[in-house]
Structure 1
Amino acid sequence: MRSYLDFEKPVAELEAKVEELRALAASGDGVAIGDEVQRLQTKAGEALVTLYANLTPWQKTLVARHPARPHFGDFAKALFEDFTPLAGDRKYGEDEAIIGGFARFRGEAVCVLGHEKGSTTETRIRHNFGMARPEGYRKAARIMELADRFGTPLISLVDTAGAYPGIGAEERGQAEAIARSTDACLSLRAPSVSVIIGEGGSGGAIALATANKVLMLEHAIYSVISPEGAASILWRDTAKAQDAATSMKITAQDLLRFGIIDAIVKEPTGGAHRDAEAAIAATGEAIADALSSLAGLDGDAVRKARREKFLAIGRNL
């Protein structure tokens, strides 16, 4: 059964009527309702197009967090062959909020990293809702160092509300681990492409997203703090999260205008959760195009271009 967000209520009502009519037709009472079903479907489709063409930043935040939105595992299964995940940071332990390893992307060997939120209660707990601890970022840095050694392009898929803020994580050096992962991103001599597929939250996101090319799905968000966190700090009232989302400029459209990201990957009408297969396919094409644009550059040129890209953000804002 499809899950609707609060602002999708008009579409939900129309699609519910369509389902009722289909159930009536399936009961075999002989009522001719084909024309009415078609009319309602068209009306629902038009309402969905209008709604998603005018989403507010807060509504985009809700879409980016939709539980049915495709996660890292869905992208990895559809886009990569022979994916071999690696575990552990060789210092403390394994963290399943970040998954990484080596695979093939359209025949080419690549390094793959990403946040996994999980899609059921059990997997969400196991992956800690995509919020990594220090060992997750140290694992990421270790895998990136391997990729650098073999000259393997890096593809990272970012989807996290932020790094895990627990006491244990802080005691084990959360900030230092994020900094080392970010430094590993910057130091790569191989091309790197990052895609914000859902939420890109704070340093927990940038630790994997410091890439030559940074892409965002159309309804993803990318910010230094969550809207709720910003509202709590600025107004001491999380109910003002909608105002914070608008003021923070967290949407893909805003960030492209500021030059923080390089391209937007268009989502199916109604968001990636309505047609995960199409969203993943579009993402694969965008990754291929980004890697192609970096082909032919030597290691020093790749690393210099990446550093200059992020230095320029600071100069231009």
Structure 2
Amino acid sequence: MDNGNRQQSIAQLWNPDELVGGLEAVGALGQRLYSNADDTGSVAPSLDGKALKQRLHEAKRLLRNGRYEDAIALLGEGAVNLYHPGYMSQQLCAPAAASVVGDALASLLNQGHAVFSMSPTHSLVEDEVLAWAKQRLGLAEDFVGIPTGGGSLSNLSALLAARNFLSNWRGWRDGAWPKLTVFSTAFSHYSVARAAGMLGIGVENCLEIEGDRYGRMSVEGLAKSLTRLRDSEPAVVVLTLGNTATGAIDPIADAVAVARRIRPDVWIHVDAAHGGGLFHLSSLHETFAALKECDSVSWNPHKLFFSRFR
């Protein structure tokens, strides 16, 4: 490529016509997906890897020729159809139209969230979103929220906060802290043990509490384990509000009450990444009411919150 063609290609990256054409094509695809969410077609593309790769090359050719709608439609055909009524949300759900527009706006403005001066209005939007999440989960007003890239990072952040608090910030300051035990069930998310390993707590210090066949924690088992701890040994209890294997919910209210009675200083974390979107169910009122007595909570609204598109 000569220098002139290279400069032309670089300039095209910031061409407003490219932006408008691309957004119109994405909008056309979105309109079809939202309006044609019926039983036709399949949830997943019925194409093998070779066929998908051929379609990708064809989409690239179409984009180079400015045929945005055709290219984006082709890419859409190779995606999982989240809008199909037969799709059941596990990790992702069909996004609301407003969230698609918001995502495009966020990409267009490209604000940095490290400090307020890099994203003034967006920082306030973030505060509004966190306030909304706290209200929906019934958390106390003084809870501090941090948006993360997913439940695994949220659990890592929670265990980091627990480690720092329980070690009086020695772990953060000088890399030393007393032995820390993490209690959870065999059905807790794998990110809990991984976080313990990454933070130097140690996966060997993640101990399983017995549970029933659905993975719900035994409150009696939790009580026995906490009673065996030495008074000087800090601990974290991880409760799960909707585990990924069976969807079961630990008896959070009872577990919190027992843990606080036996070890008032124990850190209680609730992994509500999957089940947090069930806050509206009256049958879970007691469960969500207990969250305000916990020290940290993870929630991923992108999982079950919009699981029913229609």
Choose 1 or 2 for highest CA Rg.
Answer: 2
TM-score by length of 1: 0.32
TM-score by length of 2: 0.32
More strand by share: 1
